[in-house]
Amino acid sequence: MELPDIKRLNDEAADAANRRQLEKDAEHPQDHSCTVCEWNGEEKPADYSYLTYDIFSDDPKGVIFTCENHDRSTGEPIEGYFECGDCLKVLAENYTWERYDIIVGCERLCLPCALWRYLDDKEHWINPEGVEQVVLDPHSHEEDGWNRVLDPQTGVLNLAACPHLIAVKQPLPDDLHFVENLEFDSSTGPLLAGFSSTYAEGVGENAALRKIRELAEAGYTEFIPILDGAYQFSVSIGLYVKADVHQTIEERGASSALSPSR
């Protein structure tokens, strides 16, 4: 499964005429056939309509029509889509192997909404100086709907507990800065060494710990690790910092480099 041309999809969706047509179609569902009935080779007037979106832009990508019998009978509202508990949009579940939703507690959220909620909680931001060890432990503990990434008592950071909040090609918030990522085999765990090989157990965890210590040495007082790519056989764990803090540290470093030595 390949990711479609996201730029083309976004450009088409952003076209004013295209948006007006989709909204016009959604206003009159009875003028269209039920999408599920059409899948079954039947034609039946629709009773409901839903503008559909994806996680790659805020513009609608299409319209779903359902009859009374098929409305929410195979999904939300039909198979392949879901309704986000925060923004209340109907979104595509996936284009590739990667899903675009996450369950937080009892809520089903789209990745952008879940990301905003996660970033907004200061408890999820980690002081790099407080990380003593990095592990990959599939048995994580849940707190307030999220898996606990860092044990503050031991300083153990569990990469396997990082939530999937960013998909491949998903736009990042302006106030978030990507630092680096590591890719792991999604079934066995070790860090990827190439297309079909992995490093020895523990190499990825040690590489992550080194990077986290580099953040502390550079002057960062908080960072956040996020699963930022789910492929068919691997996952990416990215380290992120606040964009304004990154800019300040970069400017400070540039200023120091230009200062004359005594």
- The full set of domain ranges for the chain reads 6-96, 121-250
- Asked if 206 contacts 134 with a C-beta cutoff of 8 angstroms, the reply is yes
**Mean pLDDT for all residues in the chain:** 90
Q: Is the pLDDT of residue 89 over 80?
A: yes
User: Average pLDDT for residues 102-128, to the nearest whole number?
Assistant: 96
Tell me the per-residue pLDDT of 152-165, one tens digit each, with 9 for 90 and over.
Answer: 999 999 999 999 99
pLDDT value for 5: 76
Residues ≥6 apart with Cβ < 8 Å to 249? 218, 219, 220
User: Average pLDDT for residues 206-220, to the nearest whole number?
Assistant: 95
Q: Which of 8, 21, 32 is nearest to 62 (CA)?
A: 21
pLDDT value for 10: 73
pLDDT value for 38: 95
Q: How many percent of the chain have pLDDT more than 70?
A: 94
Which residues on neighbouring strands pair with residue 234, listed in sequence order? 185
- Asked if 230 contacts 238 with a C-beta cutoff of 8 angstroms, the reply is no
* Residue whose structure tokens are 């005429």: 17
pLDDT value for 3: 75
- Asked if 163 contacts 146 with a C-beta cutoff of 8 angstroms, the reply is yes
- DSSP string across 98-110: SBSEEEETTEEEE
Q: Is the pLDDT of residue 133 over 90?
A: yes
What's the whole-model pTM score? 0.88
Tell me the per-residue pLDDT of 243-256, one tens digit each, with 9 for 90 and over.
Answer: 999 999 999 886 55
CA distance 70 to 47: 10
Number of neighbouring beta carbons within 10 Å of residue 8: 9
Q: Is the pLDDT of residue 234 over 80?
A: yes
pLDDT value for 258: 44
Q: Which of 31-40, 42-51, 184-193, 253-262 has the lowest mean pLDDT?
A: 253-262
User: Average pLDDT for residues 1-22, to the nearest whole number?
Assistant: 79
Q: Is the pLDDT of residue 259 over 60?
A: no
Which residues on neighbouring strands pair with residue 53, listed in sequence order? 91
Q: At what angle do helices 16-27 and 6-14 cross, to 10 degrees?
A: 70
- Asked if 106 contacts 130 with a C-beta cutoff of 8 angstroms, the reply is no
pLDDT value for 190: 77
pLDDT value for 185: 86
Q: Which of 178, 131, 165, 136 is nearest to 150 (CA)?
A: 131
Tell me the per-residue pLDDT of 53-78, one tens digit each, with 9 for 90 and over.
Answer: 999 999 999 999 999 999 998 889 99
